[in-house]
Amino acid sequence: MPFGTDSRYLIEAVGLGKVYQRGNEKVVALRNVSLSVESGEFAVIIGPSGSGKSTLLHILGGIDRPSTGELHATGVDLVAASDATLTRFRRDNIGFVFQFYNLLPSFNALDNVILPLLAKGMGWKASRARGEAILEQVGLDHRQKHTPGQLSGGEQQRVAIARAMVLEPCFILADEPTGDLDSASANSIIALMMDLNKRLGVTFIVATHNLNLLKVASRSYELVDGRLKTAPTG
Ligand SMILES: Nc1ncnc2c1ncn2[C@@H]1O[C@H](COP(=O)(O)OP(=O)(O)OP(=O)(O)O)[C@@H](O)[C@H]1O
Ligand SMILES: [Mg+2]
């Protein structure tokens, strides 16, 4: 079967390498990384700071391009894709969740969640209805009108997860989603992601320092100095 045509996999990557050029210096961030992710998985990538986790997530999400290797995601060849195709790929297929939530501070929770729908041209009423339903799925239907400054860190991350889900992406990439939270809030965000994965079938790829995530992963990897290996089980 030709590479990238196996419909079992949302993501197939073989031999990914990434070299950053910093002045005269070359920084090798990824070396010969191969991985596959199926729909419905909860994949977790651990590894020390600087090991390449964010670099890998950015490449899988079409934010950045690999220097070498092959990569297909949702049937799109991300190495050959034009910039316009990458932009469309990101918008239509991926939800992103970041360590510091990246919510718009002057918009309330519901408006933050529905912005991607409005930007895509969905009407106001339908967008609101969908946003309210998603906020309910993340346990925040009682906080719709609160701005990020009026929400706890854990609640802000719930809003960010709702926003990532609102366009029904093929998968969600989460970079240190619990990194800014105390351990109780972190555990509740882990429980939420697990619940969305099990109940709604949302596929997650999570980069983290939080070893509790290894316990719930369907597939786990460790990055060490840009090389990917199977992680020791949590
Ligand atoms: N734009 C860039 N230009 C040059 N080097 C970079 C760039 N981005 C990342 N790097 C380097 O690539 C390596 C991997 O960085 P990356 O951010 O992927 O690590 P990480 O595992 O996400 O770390 P952390 O756990 O601290 O978030 C690091 O050595 C980093 O300094
Ligand atoms: Mg990082």
Measured by CA distance, the residue closest to atom 31 of ligand 1 is: 50
Instruction: Please give the radius of gyration of the chain, using alpha carbons only, rounded to the nearest integer.
Output: 18
Q: For residue 159, give the amino acid letter.
A: V
Give 232's DSSP letter.
Answer: P
Q: Tokens for 25, please give them.
A: 């210096």
Contact 14, 72 (CB under 8 A): no
Sign of CA dihedral 82, 162, 220, 154: positive
Ligand nearest, relative to CA of residue 226: 1
What is the number of other CB atoms lying within 10 angstroms of the CB of residue 16? 25
Q: Cα 210 vs. chain centroid, distance in angstroms? A: 15
Instruction: Decide if pLDDT at 234 tops 60.
Output: no
Measured by CA distance, the residue closest to atom 30 of ligand 1 is: 50
Contact 174, 158 (CB under 8 A): no
- Spell out the residues 6+ positions from residue 67 whose beta carbon is closer than 8 angstroms to its own: 17, 18, 19
Contact 140, 148 (CB under 8 A): no
What are the tens digits of pLDDT across the range 2-39?
A: 666 667 799 999 999 999 999 999 999 999 999 999 99
Which residues lie with the beta carbon below 6 Å from any ligand 1 atom?
A: 20, 22, 27, 29, 47, 49-55
Contacts 24+ apart (CB under 8 A), 6-10: 7/75, 8/38, 9/36, 9/37, 9/38, 9/72, 10/37, 10/38, 10/39, 10/73, 10/74, 10/170, 10/171, 10/203
Distance 112 CA to ligand 2 centre (A): 24
- Does residue 3 lie within any of the structural domains? no
- The C-alpha atoms of residue 80 and residue 95 are separated, in whole angstroms, by 22
Confidence of residue 66 (pLDDT cuts 50, 70, 90): very high
Q: What is the pLDDT at residue 231? A: 76
Distance 224 CA to ligand 1 centre (A): 12
Ligand nearest, relative to CA of residue 48: 1
Contact 189, 139 (CB under 8 A): no
What's 200's domain CATH number?
Answer: 3.40.50.300
Range of the structural domain that residue 185 is part of: 9-230
Measured by CA distance, the residue closest to atom 1 of ligand 1 is: 20
Measured by CA distance, the residue closest to atom 11 of ligand 1 is: 29
What are the tens digits of pLDDT across the range 218-231?
A: 999 999 999 999 87
Q: What is the pLDDT at residue 2? A: 61
- Does residue 216 lie within any of the structural domains? yes
Ligand nearest, relative to CA of residue 58: 1
What are the tens digits of pLDDT across the range 148-162?
A: 999 999 999 999 999
Q: What's the distance, Cα to Cα, between the start and end of the chain in Å? A: 34
Report which ligand 1 atom has the smallest distance to the Cα of 223.
Answer: 21
- Does residue 209 lie within any of the structural domains? yes
The structural domain count of the chain equals 1
CA atoms within 13 A on the CB side of 77: 10
Distance 159 CA to ligand 2 centre (A): 21
- Does residue 1 lie within any of the structural domains? no
Distance 117 CA to ligand 1 centre (A): 32
Q: Tokens for 62, please give them.
A: 């079409």
What are the tens digits of pLDDT across the range 109-149?
A: 999 999 999 999 999 999 999 999 999 999 999 999 999 99
- Does residue 4 lie within any of the structural domains? no
Q: Cα 60 vs. chain centroid, distance in angstroms? A: 9
Q: What is the pLDDT at residue 1? A: 59
